[in-house]
Structure 1
Amino acid sequence: MAQATFSVRMDEELKRQFDSLCADFGMNATTAFNVFARAVVRERKIPFEIVSPKQDITRNDGMKAFMALREEAKVNGIQDLSLEEINTEINQARSGEDHE
């Protein structure tokens, strides 16, 4: 199969760290990029999640988070807190107080 050259620009420190990590894996940067490219082609997607630092929270996302917290409270045996106890927990968390 014919070979092609692919050039990438990146921060020097990032390249140094990447080269060092690739060496720890027993490969060079070219091999690592080939592994990445093959995974992208095979999976037809980027093989890891890419997330924006800014997230638009939808009502559905909020409800999922709430339900996850309810389940965690149930597992930890604290699902029966009163509204006053919940507000105390919230206020302590906001002020950075240790509440245990």
Structure 2
Amino acid sequence: MANTSAVYARIDTNLKDNAESILSQLGITPSGAIQMFYSQIVLKKGIPFELKLLSSKPLTVGAMTREQLDAELKKGYASIKAGKIYSADEVDEALAKEFGI
């Protein structure tokens, strides 16, 4: 028999139940899932999925409220009236620099 150790963790009951239901459908025990997770940590030498804070990427028009869209359009109109205009290349460069897009 392999040398084993116990791992104890407290998690939300609903999360546990939902996860174990999915694992059961996959034919995987909770211990097996934890074994897989730890194996991936060792293989990847870190957490096996990306951890990051939400980015500050701009909202899409469809995700804006009417008030947000109106405010952005007013800012754009005021910018044009003030003579602040940019070429498409300048806009692309600024977006790439600030948001990585």
Indicate the TM-score class for this superposition, using the shorter chain for normalisation: 0.5 to 0.7
Query: How far did 1:63 drift?
Result: 5.2
- In structure 1, what is the equivalent of residue 98 of structure 2? 62
Query: How far did 1:52 drift?
Result: 2.0
Matched residues, number:
63
- In structure 1, what is the equivalent of residue 32 of structure 2? 31
**Structure 2: 5+ residue stretches without partners:** 58-94
1: CA distance, partners of 2:8 / 2:50: 24
Residues 60, 10 of structure 1: CA spacing in aligned structure 2 closer, same or farther, 3 A cutoff? same
2: CA distance, partners of 1:38 / 1:61: 37
Letter in 1 for 2:15: L
1: CA distance, partners of 2:50 / 2:22: 20
Query: How far did 1:64 drift?
Result: 2.2
User: Residue by residue, what CA displacement relative to the aligned partner does 1:1-56 show, whole Å, maximum 9, x if unpaired?
Assistant: 31110001100000000100111111111100100000110111211111224x46
**Structure 1: 5+ residue stretches without partners:** 66-100
- In structure 2, what is the equivalent of residue 21 of structure 1? 22
Identity of aligned residues (%): 21
- In structure 2, what is the equivalent of residue 50 of structure 1? 51
Letter in 1 for 2:13: E
